[in-house]
Structure 1
């Protein structure tokens, strides 16, 4: 029996995804849960940094505050990175979560196997590169914005997720 010609009116069949960005991310954290987790972390940072900066003289000429020289900005960035590690380090090491992520029951996992991301991966490949890029005069802020706007892609992964090979998932509350 001869094989029949394909039906041109038949709906297309789905192809198996071949890359991380094409795979469906069942269990991915919602954009809103990631946003609110980041807001919780930002408020914690402000509670710590504003008093430090006040006593460090950053607001001395308020309201005419000018950008500090690059070496001073770099010192504040290094201090901020260190304080971030102090505040969130235990949570990141134990459960691959910041305080905000823990509060919203979401977690950083490896994109390849779904296991909680290692502390070194989170710090050296996820936090450090974007922290360094943010310090580049004039373009650092724009690149930081582009980083977080990647959340609106289909895979819901920011640039820092792609660099580190991670994604953020909603934890199963039944466990």
Structure 2
């Protein structure tokens, strides 16, 4: 089932997500629905809060060299904690909750992630490049933050003006 994605400036996106404690069929169905939603929206990542569920869960599916996303490459991340971040990189990010807007954001270049899978089993993932960037972007959502909050004051003001204009044009 495709779930509705909450978009900026909806205040639900500012909520802090709660730790997942029940790894049951309900969670599994929700994660499956998140995958369908992300793929249908042409995203590479989706945090639970973006579909109105404030739990510490996110999914990622990085495209292959041809730009295709395969379910076997899906990573389901529950209760993530970043360890040993290293280096920085500038990357142009977009967001399903801020449609049509892209901006360069500085992130860690690599990191180690401790998390649980859909069954509650603990895992460790060493991530670099786009995977590391996407993990940080989605964890920001779990912490009630959007990538636009990382912009400079002037760029953020310009964004607000452009975004308001785009919303008016849609009506």
Q: TM-score, normalised by structure 2?
A: 0.24
Give the structure, 1 or 2, with the largest relative contact order (CA under 8 Å, sep 6 or more).
1
Q: TM-score, normalised by structure 1?
A: 0.24
Greater C-alpha Rg: 1
Q: Larger % of helix: which?
A: 1
Q: Larger % of strand: which?
A: 2
